[in-house]
Amino acid sequence: MGVAEGAAGERGGGEVGCALAGGCHCGGVRFRLRAPRHLVVWSCNCSICRMKGNDHVVVPKLDFVLESPAALDELGLYQFGSRQALHYFCRTCGVCAFYQPRSNPDGWAVTYGCLDRDSLGGTTHEVQHFDGENWEASIEGSSIVGMSKVA
Ligand SMILES: [Zn+2]
């Protein structure tokens, strides 16, 4: 179950790291994902993350499954600025439980606070800061880019 065992060929159906589940406040959005047991939680100070207090875990798209009830195209979508990030949110409760970050077009950013508490049992985490207020200067050299790469 160790994440270090995650050879590319195992990722299709095998268990890599741990299985987490989460969703929005009302339950209209539910998902599962695979993530390392030790989670890197990104705290960002860009204009929108600062407002939302957004701490998130970035995973490869392959490791994330949206289970519904709401399908992706039924969610609200907010874009601004470069319009590269896709800020999906539940149309009922307004919570952004996951989104596609500008930093990781091949990944999803999952809101740490939207992960089910019972699924976080056995995980540890560390908080890393991303200086999104100075995005262009920060993205190069930040390890956030690698978080969505399939190992
Ligand atoms: Zn909701």
Compute the distance from residue 128 Cα to the ligand 1 centre, in Å.
27
Residue pair 46/135 in contact (Cβ under 8 Å)? The answer is yes
Strand partners, 108: 59
Domain annotation for the chain: domains and CATH numbers: 17-146 (2.170.150.70)
Compute the distance from residue 30 Cα to the ligand 1 centre, in Å.
9
Q: What is the predicted pLDDT for the residue at 14?
A: 42
Compute the distance from residue 95 Cα to the ligand 1 centre, in Å.
6
Summarize pLDDT for 93-149 with one digit per residue, the tens. Answer: 999 999 999 888 999 999 999 999 999 999 999 999 988 888 888 888 788 988 998
Q: Is the pLDDT of residue 15 over 70?
A: no
Compute the distance from residue 34 Cα to the ligand 1 centre, in Å.
22
Q: What is the predicted pLDDT for the residue at 70?
A: 87
Summarize pLDDT for 32-82 with one digit per residue, the tens. Answer: 999 999 999 999 999 999 999 999 999 999 999 999 888 999 999 999 998
Compute the distance from residue 90 Cα to the ligand 1 centre, in Å.
5
Contacts of 4 (CB under 8 A, 6+ apart): none
Residue type, position 12, single letter: G
